[in-house]
Structure 1
Amino acid sequence: MLNGLIWLVTEMGLGFYNIFYALTHPGLWLDWSNKESLIRFIYYGGSQEFFFAVLDIFIVLTVLGIIFRKFMWAMVRGLEGFANFIGRLAAWAGLIMVGQQVIIIFLQSIFRLGEITLSPLGIGFTYSLTWYTEGLKIWNAAVVALCVSYAFVQGAHVRVDLIYAGVSHRAKKVIDMFGSLFFMMPVAVLTWMYSWYFLWRHLITPKVSASDQLDLMLRKARIVKWNVERTGFSPDGFNAYFLFKILILAFVALVFLQAMAFFYRSFLEFMEGEESQDKYLDRDTLGEGEEAYEGTH
């Protein structure tokens, strides 16, 4: 147990060092014209070092928030505002998806066209209707992945309540804090670790793995090259499936940030009592008289 504690303290200390070193040597991991820099970016993006760097940042922000209550409220408002902004923007993908489906049916059923040419800003590109049909999935995925934290802020998720409604205000906040720290964050971290390499295995060759050590990956840098996934389910179907992998990472990042916001809000509402319930919470409204339906749209 003592060895484990020493290891934890050592890794947390190294986390601060790694943050400082990465910020002062950006060329080592951001200069993708150098293949070794690209490999370092890939390795550290899903590494133990990255985990402890994020953990250190979270701990520092939490300590500062406990000392300066206004700073913690500012973080809550900022994180929830960011979630709302991304969600409200991404929600328009649903309208785009419906419009695209209508256009596909209209052109295919009435004009019997086999392809569509679009020329935004004078730059034209032509794809088959099959490409646009399969491409509908990316809009649906964008809504799901990018609106997840927005839906959480709005209280729109489906919940099964067995004990929560009957307990006191402070007990609810303890449950919320526990859920944020021991459910939302660990699941987000674990999913990130798997999804990170899942993405990069479809972007470069030779394939990389979470079990690869940095030395081995740097040796691979000599032969690494871009190999972006371009294979669709049909010969002329949608061929940008790597975008789904990017959306998975965006989904996980938004969940983690929302877990931070929810933990901070729960802590502040625990400390300040019931009068702080939903303080600064920016929720959409359907209008006067529609309160019963809010949170379900």
Structure 2
Amino acid sequence: MLDGILWFFQNIGLAFYNFGYAITHPGLWLDWSDKQALMRFVYYGGSVEFFFVVFTAFLVLTALGIWRRSIMWGAVRVLEGFANTVGRFFAWAGLLMVLQQIMIVFLQRIFRVAEIQVGPLGYAFAKDLSWWGEELKLYNAMIVCLCASYTFVQSGHVRVDLIYSAVGHRAKRAIDMFGSLFFMMPAAVLTWMYGWYFMWRHLITPKPSASDTLERLLMKSRALRWNVETIGFSPNGFNGYFLFKVLLVAFTAMVFLQAIAFFYRSFLEFVEGEESAGKYLDRDSLGAGEEAYEGTH
């Protein structure tokens, strides 16, 4: 027990050194022309060291926010603004998905076209209709992964409410703080740990493993080469499934950041009282006269 506590605080202390060393020596992990640098990036992206750097940064920002609430409100506005900006942009993928599906149906059923070419003559990107049909899954994945935090900010997720609506303002904020700390953050961390190596196993070879030490990965770097997954479910089908692994990692990062924003907002609304509920909250509106329909989607 004592050893575990000592290990925990040692890693928090080392986080400052590790962060400073990484910032002052970017070539050791960002110069991907060096195979060992790429392997260091892979290792540290899912490492205990990286976790404690993020965790310590959260502790420092929280302490500053408690000392001066304007800092915490600033973090809330930046993180929620980031979620809204990304979500509003990639929400247009839904329209692209519908338009592309309509185009595929017309070209396939009416004009009997076998492939679609996109781009200027001589440099056209040509793929079979089945490729474009399967590629629609990518738009759907973009909406799910990159708009989840945006939907959370907009209160658009389905909620099963058994207790929440019956309690007061401070009790609700306490429930929100507990949920963000003990459900959202741990779930995001676990998904990141699995998703990070899952992504890289489909991008490079030899395949890295979560159980590999840094020394073992550096040894593997001698035979390192890019091996991006290009296998489809059908001969002429969509072959960019590695993008789904990238989206999984992006999704977990955005959920973790939103968990921080939600915890900070809940804490501030708990401390400042009911008058601060919804402060600086940037929610979409359907316009004047449509208030009855908002929040029902």
Report the 3-state secondary structure (helix = DSSP H, G, I; strand = E; otherwise coil) of the residue aligned with 1:126. Answer: strand
**Aligned match of 1:285:** 285
Question: In structure 2, what is the equivalent of residue 210 of structure 1?
Answer: 210
Q: Which consecutive unaligned segments of at least 5 residues does structure 2 have?
A: none
Q: Tell me the CA shift for residue 123 of structure 1.
A: 4.0
Work out the CA distance in 2 between the residues paired with 1:18 and 1:296.
Answer: 46
- How many residues align? The count is 297
Matches for 1:75-224 after TM superposition, within 5 Å: 75-119=75-119, 123-224=123-224
AA in 2 matched with 1:103: M
The residue that corresponds to 1:64 in the other structure is: 64
> Aligned partner of 1:214: which letter?
L
In the TM superposition, residue 296 of structure 1 has moved relative to its aligned partner by 3.1
Q: d(CA) in 2 for partners of 1:275 and 1:52?
A: 35
SS at match of 2:40: helix
Give the secondary-structure state (helix, strand or coil) at the position aligned to 1:117. strand
In 2, distance between residues paired with 1:4 and 1:122? 63
> What's the CA shift string for 1:51-87, capped at 9, x where partnerless?
0010011111111111111111111111111100000
Cα separation, partners in 2 of 1:44 and 1:121, compared to 1, 3 Å = farther
Deviations 1:163-188 (A, max 9, x none): 11111111111110010001000000
Q: CA deviation at 1:119?
A: 0.5
For 1:73, the equivalent position in structure 2 comes to: 73
Q: Quick one: distance in 2 between partners of 1:66 and 1:122?
A: 60
**RMSD across aligned C-alpha pairs, in angstroms?**
1.1
Question: What letter corresponds to residue 38 of structure 1 in structure 2?
Answer: L
Greater than 6 Å deviation, 4+ residue runs: none
- 2:222 alignment partner, SS class: coil
The one-letter code matched in structure 1 to 2:179 is G
In the alignment, which residue of structure 1 is the partner of 2:267?
A: 267
* TM-score relative to the length of structure 1: 0.98
**TM-score (norm: length of structure 2):** 0.98
Structure 1: where are the runs of 5+ without partners? none
Separation in 1 of the partners of 2:83 and 2:247? 15
Match of 1:23 in 2: 23
Amino acid at match of 2:207: K
CA distance in 2, matches of 1:181, 1:25: 32
